[in-house]
Copies of this chain bind each other. A is one copy, B any other.
């Protein structure tokens, strides 16, 4: 039997957390951090064996549309949806849902962030198969939870409820609740009590999802219905220029909100969210510290790309493809070098690169963040 469902790759991130390597027009999903391929290309390559190009969609924002298409030349033009502006994940997933509903009202959609790292694609594919089956049979919203191996404070957590008895090897639970970016103390407790990282990978029937969106997020739902009505029966991918203002107008009115807050938490409270406890080696690669964890490191814990010397230094990340970087007596520091800008930062504060970028824009260094 052919694997059912559609994959929807979500590729709308801004280029702040990996500055100076990432820029407004070169966000994380377009970076080649771990191989010769961009992260979005690796994401596509992982799922194409399951869905094929015809049933793989990408949602991106207008100003990244061209760059994203270039990375995925194997996908049909009509499968790229461009949001006029980024409004977090809820409107984005909603837009994909109405396009899929137009194609097949009984479609199952598999939502995949474009910029995550996965070490075991086979195990990942097995998990997706089970998630699709579960979404078909149980009629709920299926989330992929990841067994955590340390108390990450930058992630969201899924609190497991009752186990659902199924034949498959991957444990399945009803979700009791969500916990977004906890303190270190709470993260440690969540880790100990068996809670899971929320991978941002979701699987559900389009019809189930749109029904819940109508109930829990009517502002988004109404906007999407307007788009559907005014553009129908047009496909949303590769939308002609003259129809784009309709999308723009409706997007302007929509709230900027994540799918977790808009739908999942509320559906979870009604027992409608399930989770699979997966373990395929996953990271959302949120900052340079995460990249450091994934790189191979020498005996002193230093790792990097390019030519570098970690003299009397330890726990450092050096990303410098073009020049020699020499460290002297540094500890837990990341150095990222690009042709026009470089950052030297405390690894423990790599999450604050976002603030740093804001400060740069403040100080009239905008050309270094946008170009």
Contact = CB atoms under 8 A, between A and B. Distances in A.
The count of identical subunits is 2
Given A312-B352, A353-B328, A342 B323 contact: yes
A320 to B, nearest CB: 8
Contacts of A345: 327-330
Given A326-B20, A368-B324, A309 B344 contact: no
Contacts of A252: none
A332 B235 CA distance: 57
Interface string A188-207: 00000000000000000000
A107 interface: no
A231 B341 CA distance: 55
Contacts of A341: 323-326
A360 interface: yes
Given A324-B368, A360-B326, A342 B342 contact: yes
Nearest to A358: B311
Interface centre among A326, A356, A363 (most CB of B within 10 A): A326
Interface string A339-364: 11111111011101101100110010
Contacts of A329: 345-346, 348-349, 352
Contact of A312 (B349, B350, B363): B349
A337 interface: yes
A320 B368 CA distance: 15
A335 interface: yes
Given A328-B345, A330-B344, A344-B344, A356 B311 contact: yes
Interface residues of A, number: 38
A271 B337 CA distance: 57
A317 to B, nearest CB: 12
Nearest to A320: B342
Nearest to A352: B328
A365 interface: yes
A348 B350 CA distance: 24
B328 A342 contact: no
Interface centre among A339, A343, A349, A363 (most CB of B within 10 A): A343
Contacts of A344: 325-328, 330, 333, 335, 344
Nearest to A343: B326
B356 A324 contact: no
A353 B329 CA distance: 10
A362 B307 CA distance: 14
B311 A359 contact: yes
A273 to B, nearest CB: 37
A330 B332 CA distance: 11
A353 B341 CA distance: 23
B309 A360 contact: yes
B365 A307 contact: yes
Given A307-B365, A329-B349, A329-B352, A324 B342 contact: yes
Interface of A: 19-20, 307, 309, 311-312, 320, 323-330, 333, 335, 337, 339-346, 348-350, 352-353, 355-356, 359-360, 363, 365, 368
6 contacts: A309-B359, A311-B359, A324-B341, A324-B360, A325-B341, A328-B346
A-B pairs with the 8 shortest C-beta distances? A328-B345, A329-B346, A324-B341, A329-B349, A326-B343, A311-B356, A324-B368, A328-B356
